[in-house]
């Protein structure tokens, strides 16, 4: 097993629409294990495969608090099948946009269809943090970032900042070490 490199803005691969998973084989199991390892190391609570440069519709997540046992969850080919009219605002961050946090408004509850790691169809109804994370990660599989949900002015400002940093010799690695308390998605 190995840690994978998390790609960050302005890497164009973040805008790719990922492909559905069709084979539940050794390669997929390895990708999932390495995504977990990379996500825990970051540290983050959610990761989509495209964030490690793999355009496959695979999401790993663990919303357990620090003093709770690990709760690794895998969502393959996740699809939003219902979203509430009621919205909630939550401060989001993203491992691919290190050290940037902004309030994002999204439906407060959702229903998501997905396949588990054995390829078995599942459905989950989620609210709160889980609903936010699922929507954030499903967005990643479609090439959408949380900054697409904020004002154009703020979005352009943050994209410019990361483009500049990339030009300067551009390694975000030190910045990617976020505070343990912050929530990386
Ligand atoms: Ni993210």
State the distance from the centre of ligand 1 to the C-alpha of 55, rounded, in angstroms.
Answer: 14
What is the CA(1)–ligand 1 centre distance, in A?
22
- To the nearest whole number, what is the mean pLDDT of the chain? 92
pLDDT confidence of residue 66: 87
Residue 137 known to be catalytic: yes
Which residues of the chain are under the pLDDT cut of 70?
Answer: 170-184
The three-state DSSP-derived secondary structure of 130-159 is: HHHHHHHHHHHHCCCCHHHHCCHHHHHHHH
Residue 10: cis peptide before it, omega within 30 degrees of 0: yes
Q: What is the pLDDT of residue 177?
A: 40
Residue 142, class by beta-carbon neighbours within 10 Å (0-12 exposed, 13-18 middle, 19+ buried)? middle
- Residue 92 alpha carbon to ligand 1 centre in Å: 8
What's the pLDDT score for residue 169? 72
Reported as a single tens digit per residue, the pLDDT across 28-69 is 999 999 999 999 999 999 999 999 999 999 999 999 998 999
pLDDT of residue 170: 56
CA-nearest of 103, 45, 35 to 70 is: 45
**Catalytic position from the list 105, 137, 156, 179:** 137
Under 8 Å between Cβ of 48 and 146: no
Domains of the chain are 12-168 (3.90.45.10)
pLDDT of residue 183: 60
Distances (CA, A) of 2 to 33, 35, 39: 9, 9, 12
Ligand 1 mean position to 7 CA, how many Å? 11
CB 3 within 8 A of CB 38: yes
């Amino acid at each position: 097993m190995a840690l994978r490199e998390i790609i960050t803005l302005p890497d164009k691969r973040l805008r790719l629409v990922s492909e559905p998973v069709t084979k539940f084989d050794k390669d997929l199991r390895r990708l999932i294990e390495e995504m977990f390892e990379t996500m825990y190391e970051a540290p983050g609570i959610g990761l989509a495969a495209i964030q490690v440069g793999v355009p496959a519709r695979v999401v790993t997540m663990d919303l357990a608090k620090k003093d709770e046992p690990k709760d690794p969850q895998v969502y393959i080919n996740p699809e939003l099948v219902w979203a509430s009219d009621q919205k909630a605002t939550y401060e989001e961050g993203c491992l691919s946009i290190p050290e940037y946090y902004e309030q994002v408004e999204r439906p407060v509850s959702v229903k998501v269809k997905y396949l588990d790691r054995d390829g078995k169809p599942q459905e989950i109804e989620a609210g709160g943090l889980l609903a936010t994370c699922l929507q954030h990660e499903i967005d990643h599989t479609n090439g959408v970032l949380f900054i697409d949900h904020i004002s154009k002015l703020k979005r352009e400002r943050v994209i410019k900042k990361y483009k500049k940093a990339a030009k300067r010799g551009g390694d975000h690695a030190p910045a990617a070490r976020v505070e343990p308390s912050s929530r990386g998605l």
